[in-house]
Structure 1
Amino acid sequence: MSDLLNKALRYRWLVFWVLAFSYILVYFHRLCPAVVAVDMMRDLQAGGTLLGLLGSAYFYPYALMQLPAGLLSDSWGPRRSITLFFSVATIGSILLGLAPSAFWAIVGRTLVGLGVAMLFVPTMKVLAEWFRVREFATMTAILMVMGGLGSLTAAYPLALLSNWIGWRFSFVAVGVFTMVMAILVWLFVRDRPADLGWPSPAESVGSSPPSIGLLEGIRRVLTYPRFWPVAIWFFFDCAIFFSFGGLWGGPYLMQVYGLTKAKTGHILSMLAIGMIVGSPLLSFLSNRIFKGRKPVMVLSSFIVVCLTALLAFYTDTLPTAALYLICLGLGMFSSAIVVIGFTTTKELFPVQIAGTSTGLVNLFPFAGGALFQPLLGYVLERGGKVGTAFALAGYKQAFLILFGCGLISFLACLFMKETLVRE
Structure 2
Amino acid sequence: MGLRVLRYPRIIIGGFIALATLSVMNSAYSNILETIKGELALSYTQSGALMSSYFLGYMLGQIPWGIIADKYGSKPAISASVLGVSLSTFVFGFSEGITMAVISRFLGGLLGAGVFVPSVRLVSSWFTSKERGTALGILNIGGSIGLIAASWAASFLNLSLGWRFSLRIIGLFGVGSAALIWMLLRDNESAEYGSIDLSSLPFGDRRFWILAVSQFIRLGSYYTFIAWLPLIMREEFGFSVIMTSTAMSLFNTAGIFSNPLGGVTSDRIGERNVLLLSFGLLGLIVLTLTSGTSSLIIYSSVFLIGWFINFVRSPAFTIIPNTFGAESSGSISGIHNTFAALGALAIPFSLGFIRDYSAGYTLGWVTVSALALFCSSILLLLKND
Give me the TM-score of the superposition, normalised by structure 1: 0.80
Instruction: Determine which of 54, 61, 76 is the counterpart of 1:58.
Output: 54
Instruction: Determine which of 217, 220, 227 is the counterpart of 2:208.
Output: 227
| Inter-CA distance 337–14: structure 2 relative to 1 (3 Å threshold) | closer
Instruction: Determine which of 329, 333, 341 is the counterpart of 2:308.
Output: 333
Larger of the two Rg values belongs to structure: 1
Q: 2:3 — aligned with what?
A: none
Q: 1:239 — aligned with what?
A: 220
Give the SS at the match of 1:318: coil
* Structure 2: distance between partners of 1:339 and 1:308: 21
Is 1:349 matched with 2:327?
A: no
Instruction: Determine which of 350, 358, 361 is the counterpart of 1:395.
Output: 361
1:124, CA displacement in angstroms?
Answer: 5.0
Q: 1:303 — aligned with what?
A: 281
Is 1:31 matched with 2:6?
A: no
- Answer whether contact 2:65 2:114 (CA < 8 A) is retained: yes
* Structure 2: distance between partners of 1:259 and 1:173: 27
The aligned runs of 1:11-30 (5 Å cut-off) are 13=9, 16-30=12-26
Q: 2:299 — aligned with what?
A: 324
Q: How many residues align?
A: 378
| Inter-CA distance 174–247: structure 2 relative to 1 (3 Å threshold) | same
1:135, CA displacement in angstroms?
Answer: 6.8
Q: CA RMSD in A?
A: 2.8
Q: 2:241 — aligned with what?
A: 261
| Inter-CA distance 345–140: structure 2 relative to 1 (3 Å threshold) | closer
- Answer whether contact 1:278 1:333 (CA < 8 A) is retained: yes
Structure 2 portions without partners, runs of 5+: 1-5
* Structure 2: distance between partners of 1:379 and 1:408: 20
| Inter-CA distance 85–240: structure 2 relative to 1 (3 Å threshold) | closer
* Structure 2: distance between partners of 1:212 and 1:81: 15
Write the deviation string for residues 354-400 of structure 1: whole angstroms up to 9, x where unpaired: 333322222222211100111111111112xxxxxxxxx22112222
1:13, CA displacement in angstroms?
Answer: 4.1
Instruction: Determine which of 234, 253, 257 is the counterpart of 1:277.
Output: 257
Write the deviation string for residues 80-122 of structure 1: whole angstroms up to 9, x where unpaired: 4444444432331122111000110111112222222222344
- Answer whether contact 1:54 1:109 (CA < 8 A) is retained: yes
* Structure 2: distance between partners of 1:277 and 1:248: 23
- Answer whether contact 2:70 2:330 (CA < 8 A) is retained: no
Give the SS at the match of 2:206: coil
Counterpart residue identity of residue 170, structure 2: V
The aligned runs of 1:58-137 (5 Å cut-off) are 58-76=54-72, 78-124=74-120, 131=126, 133=128
Counterpart residue identity of residue 398, structure 1: G
Give the SS at the match of 1:410: helix
1:48, CA displacement in angstroms?
Answer: 0.9
Deviation larger for 98-107 or 341-350? 341-350
| Inter-CA distance 84–376: structure 2 relative to 1 (3 Å threshold) | same
Counterpart residue identity of residue 258, structure 2: G
* Structure 1: distance between partners of 2:289 and 2:311: 20
Write the deviation string for residues 313-344 of structure 1: whole angstroms up to 9, x where unpaired: x2xx2211122222221222123212222233
1:75, CA displacement in angstroms?
Answer: 4.7
Is 1:172 matched with 2:176?
A: no
| Overall identity of the aligned pairs, in % | 23
Instruction: Determine which of 163, 187, 198 is the counterpart of 1:215.
Output: 198
Structure 1 portions without partners, runs of 5+: 1-8, 193-199, 384-392
